[in-house]
Structure 1
Amino acid sequence: MFWKKSPCAVLATLMVIHLLAQVDRNILLGFAPQITGELAINNAQYGFLVGAVWVLSYGVMAVVLGALADRHSRPRVIGAGMLVWSVCTIASGFVQNFEQMVAARFMVATGEAALVPAATALLMELFSQKRRGTAMGLFYLGIPLGIGCSFLLAGTLGATHGWRTTFYILGVAGIVIGLPLTLMGDRRSHATVQERGAPLKAQLAAVFGELRGNRVVRYTVAGFVLAHLVYPGISFAQLWMTRERGMDPATIATTMGAMQIVFGSLGALAGGILSDRLAPRFKGGHASVLALLVLVCAPFMIAFRLVPTDSPLFYVGMAVGIFMVMSLYGSATTAIQGAVPARMRSTVMGFSMLLLNLFSVALGTLIVGWISDSLVTAGVAAPLTHVLLVSDMLALVMGGCFFLLAARVKRESSRSLPVMGMKV
């Protein structure tokens, strides 16, 4: 296809789409105080709205749409998803209660589930092995830029025109970009010998078989998923800093937006570049890079929850936490997709998104909201601080351990190869 002759242009387009998707997804976080107040939503409901609602739709549909992208045109799958999520973003601006917001956000998640599985598999095809980590890191810039822009929009456009108008504008922008994509074909590259995926049932069976037999991929996926237990800290950031740290909501939105853009972008870029530079030097490959990133960042992230807001460590810890989460994406995605057959890359990534959203986003935010509500009822001071500190520690310890396991298996495999070759 003609558009595949310009990989950098494809990457730039996917970056813009990913940015818009992340703004649409996270704009709810930027308006958390306003929306929870106007719609009378408590902590548990809010945790369900920003967590479980997504896994009920995004997680499941990421697998289905990933399998569809392995068989059909990836740009068309992405374009159709954009139309769905953009129309439902507009609908989110009209809701009048919690139930209506749940329905609207459920469908936003359904549309957005098409993007990451299809886009990452496409980038794996278009870029060489030496540049894939960097390409993935650039693509995942959409996450920090999207989260950052959502907070900035809430503190600027939202403060002037309100959260409903902001939703309308975002939805229209997505429709304008998504329509042309639905007309684009996607002939697989013969240079990469990329096969098309099997029908859904057979494709899922093949993916499960691959995960059972490939410990490096299995452990890397587990580490990637568990490291995202820090996500509740992002979801409850506005509420935590407003209620327990006494900070101004508009100031928080602007500050977090700027830090997400700066340090999240640095994390995405550094993680991608480091994966290309360091993974070939480590016997544990990408998994060793991932474990190193977690180890270096952990002390600062813990300090962030414990020190007062006037301490320099507070903002350093916030910056490092934002950096760490985004630094994992380029290396983890390259490691996972690079270790499985090309015909199932989108499906495997979709399955990873399902697990991530199920355990870290949905259950994580729901449990944090429920426990914090229980602590409030029990009269415990600073309930969110206690719960989010535990959530962060679990993410760092468990995520790091699984990355180390993946690196160990990778090292053992590399040592056994020469012996196997001598026997043959």
Structure 2
Amino acid sequence: MSTAAAARPDARAWFVLGMLCFVYVLNFLDRQLLSILAKPIQDDLQVTDGQLGRISGLYFALFYCLISIPVGWLADRTNRVRVLSFACALWSAATVACGFSSTYPQLVAARMAVGVGEAGGVPPSYAIISDYFAPGTRGTALGLFNLGPPLGQALGVAFGASIAAAYSWRSAFVVLGAVGVVTALAVYLFVREPERGRLDFKPSAVQSPLAMEKAGFYETVAMFFSRPVLVFVSLACGATQFVTYASLNFTTLFLMREKGMTLNEVAVYYALLIGIGISAGMYASGRLIDKFAPRGKHAYAMVPAVGLALAIPFFIGFVWAPTWPLALLFLVGPTFFNYFYLSPAVALVQEEVRPQERVLAGALLLLVMNLIGLGLGPTYLGAVSDLLRDTHPNNSLQIAFYTLVPFYVLAVVMFLSLARKLRREAVSTGDNL
């Protein structure tokens, strides 16, 4: 085994991972505050489910996804830590602006600015982590990094709902956005930019001067979309995120409006469920990838496929449950299994491309899966709920949630197809199955 492959992460690597994970926590916390505080925002600004779906889905995703591409290209050619620090400061300031919005259009503009900032958050972090952690440890590292969404969601529920209950929903945006501005400064001062590709052990990728030339924007985009595995994993993730983002953006509203939970109950019970359940799922999937991927790359697809298949019956039980305690009990299943896709997908993409292509490749992965999942999932669910509101005024969201089940099945089928494609690739290249 090569030295790079056997390298163990040092203390600085773990420190950087902790810092980047905290930034990701804030990234997702700020992104999810709108859905967490949907009920008081609806009451104050008089917006519909459809309007909430568009502002948390389509409007946000258009800016978040499209800006991530030039940001990814810039980060591949410049200092990734500085790009990340500036992006964190921008989205945090925009979060503060959300708290000062007095009309729906103002809130839309502030949310778009949040999307612009958050576009520079995750792709540079993926690449920085890949240059601090060697192959064989990246699955676990990325699994830990991907604890950001569940921790951000949990802390957003806990602190956002608590602050809103004690003061107002506006105060929650202002306070939590201010924390992000301070964190951006800390990243700039304490995180060191690593050498690109220093832990990759393929001689052609590290030692060749030609291989280490800066990757061209159009060349990298063409490479990404010409490789079936990269395109297919992006589409499978998009189908998964259609379900996860649709659910995530409306679960709090669903629990409060149709299951009878209060804001204070959400701040305690739902926060604990999200924080523990998704974190455990993220970490477990990363460990499973490090265990099974060396035996065959198809594990990158089988782990998500099995997880999503196991989530389906629990999801149906959650939607059906007549009381919120029973609903939360069923929600444990989807909360744990729904996120088995993210760490395997990110690890697969990062290992399939050259070191100098990683940020842009990560941005392209996010572009495809977030345009489909983040852009269309909440938009679809809010629109269906609005459509059913006249005929089913007391349970329009419940029926809308049921319509997400076929998208679960689609995601499972797509990951199984990806697993078959990875097996065939392994056979054609002579790799171990």
Q: Normalised by the size of structure 1, how large is the TM-score?
A: 0.91
Aligned match for 1:248, one of 231, 247, 262: 262
Q: Is the contact made by 2:289 and 2:344 (CA closer than 8 Å) also made in structure 1?
A: yes
1:195 aligns with 2:222: no
For these two proteins, the number of residue pairs brought into alignment is 411
1:370 aligns with 2:383: yes
Displacement, 1:265? 0.9
> What is the aligned-residue identity percentage?
29
Q: After the TM superposition, which of the residue ranges 233-242 and 96-105 deviates more from structure 2? A: 233-242
SS at match of 1:114: coil
Residue of structure 2 equivalent to 1:96 = 102
Equivalent-residue separation in structure 2 for 1:66 and 1:395 (angstroms)? 29
Residue of structure 1 equivalent to 2:406 = 394
Q: Is the alpha carbon distance of 1:195 and 1:368 closer, same or farther for their aligned partners in structure 2, counting shifts above 3 Å?
A: same
Displacement, 1:88? 1.2
Residue of structure 2 equivalent to 1:146 = 152
1:307 aligns with 2:324: no
Q: Is the alpha carbon distance of 1:256 and 1:344 closer, same or farther for their aligned partners in structure 2, counting shifts above 3 Å?
A: same
Equivalent-residue separation in structure 1 for 2:199 and 2:147 (angstroms)? 28
Displacement, 1:100? 0.5
Residue of structure 2 equivalent to 1:292 = 306
1:28 aligns with 2:34: yes
Q: Is the alpha carbon distance of 1:283 and 1:106 closer, same or farther for their aligned partners in structure 2, counting shifts above 3 Å?
A: closer
* Counterpart AA for 1:235: N
SS at match of 2:341: helix
SS at match of 1:377: coil
Structural mapping, 1:225-374, within 5 Å: 225-230=238-243, 231-282=245-296, 284-309=298-323, 312=326, 314-374=327-387
Displacement, 1:85? 0.9
SS at match of 2:298: coil
Q: Is the alpha carbon distance of 1:109 and 1:311 closer, same or farther for their aligned partners in structure 2, counting shifts above 3 Å?
A: closer
Equivalent-residue separation in structure 1 for 2:193 and 2:137 (angstroms)? 25
Equivalent-residue separation in structure 1 for 2:165 and 2:263 (angstroms)? 11
* Counterpart AA for 1:288: M
Residue of structure 1 equivalent to 2:203 = none
Equivalent-residue separation in structure 2 for 1:321 and 1:234 (angstroms)? 11
Residue of structure 2 equivalent to 1:78 = 84
Q: Is the contact made by 2:29 and 2:153 (CA closer than 8 Å) also made in structure 1?
A: yes
Equivalent-residue separation in structure 2 for 1:299 and 1:128 (angstroms)? 38
Q: Is the alpha carbon distance of 1:51 and 1:197 closer, same or farther for their aligned partners in structure 2, counting shifts above 3 Å?
A: farther
1:136 aligns with 2:148: no
Equivalent-residue separation in structure 2 for 1:372 and 1:289 (angstroms)? 32
Q: Is the alpha carbon distance of 1:288 and 1:190 closer, same or farther for their aligned partners in structure 2, counting shifts above 3 Å?
A: same
Equivalent-residue separation in structure 1 for 2:250 and 2:132 (angstroms)? 38
Aligned match for 1:170, one of 148, 155, 176: 176
Q: After the TM superposition, which of the residue ranges 232-241 and 109-118 deviates more from structure 2? A: 232-241
SS at match of 2:338: helix
Displacement, 1:127? 0.9
Q: After the TM superposition, which of the residue ranges 336-345 and 132-141 deviates more from structure 2? A: 336-345
Equivalent-residue separation in structure 2 for 1:360 and 1:279 (angstroms)? 26
Aligned match for 2:233, one of 220, 233, 240: 220
Where in structure 2 are there 5+ consecutive unaligned residues? Answer: 1-8, 201-205
Equivalent-residue separation in structure 1 for 2:90 and 2:218 (angstroms)? 24
Q: Is the contact made by 2:142 and 2:286 (CA closer than 8 Å) also made in structure 1?
A: yes
Measured on the aligned residues, the alpha-carbon RMSD in Å equals 2.2
Q: Is the alpha carbon distance of 1:377 and 1:205 closer, same or farther for their aligned partners in structure 2, counting shifts above 3 Å?
A: farther
Q: Is the alpha carbon distance of 1:55 and 1:299 closer, same or farther for their aligned partners in structure 2, counting shifts above 3 Å?
A: same
Deviations 1:195-246 (A, max 9, x none): 3643xxx42343233332x222222111111111221111111222222223
Aligned match for 2:185, one of 179, 182, 187: 179
Structural mapping, 1:121-132, within 5 Å: 121-132=127-138
Equivalent-residue separation in structure 2 for 1:163 and 1:380 (angstroms)? 25
Deviations 1:353-407 (A, max 9, x none): 122222112222112212211111244652211221212x133211111111111
Equivalent-residue separation in structure 1 for 2:73 and 2:421 (angstroms)? 28
Q: Is the alpha carbon distance of 1:169 and 1:375 closer, same or farther for their aligned partners in structure 2, counting shifts above 3 Å?
A: same
Displacement, 1:178? 1.0
Equivalent-residue separation in structure 2 for 1:146 and 1:242 (angstroms)? 20
Deviations 1:76-96 (A, max 9, x none): 000110111111111111110
Q: Is the alpha carbon distance of 1:196 and 1:321 closer, same or farther for their aligned partners in structure 2, counting shifts above 3 Å?
A: farther
Q: Is the alpha carbon distance of 1:185 and 1:268 closer, same or farther for their aligned partners in structure 2, counting shifts above 3 Å?
A: closer
Equivalent-residue separation in structure 2 for 1:325 and 1:98 (angstroms)? 31
* Counterpart AA for 1:104: A
Residue of structure 1 equivalent to 2:66 = 60
Q: Is the contact made by 1:216 and 1:407 (CA closer than 8 Å) also made in structure 2?
A: no
* Counterpart AA for 1:188: R
Q: Is the contact made by 1:223 and 1:402 (CA closer than 8 Å) also made in structure 2?
A: yes
* Counterpart AA for 2:248: I
Where in structure 1 are there 5+ consecutive unaligned residues? Answer: 420-424
Equivalent-residue separation in structure 1 for 2:430 and 2:348 (angstroms)? 22
Displacement, 1:276? 0.6
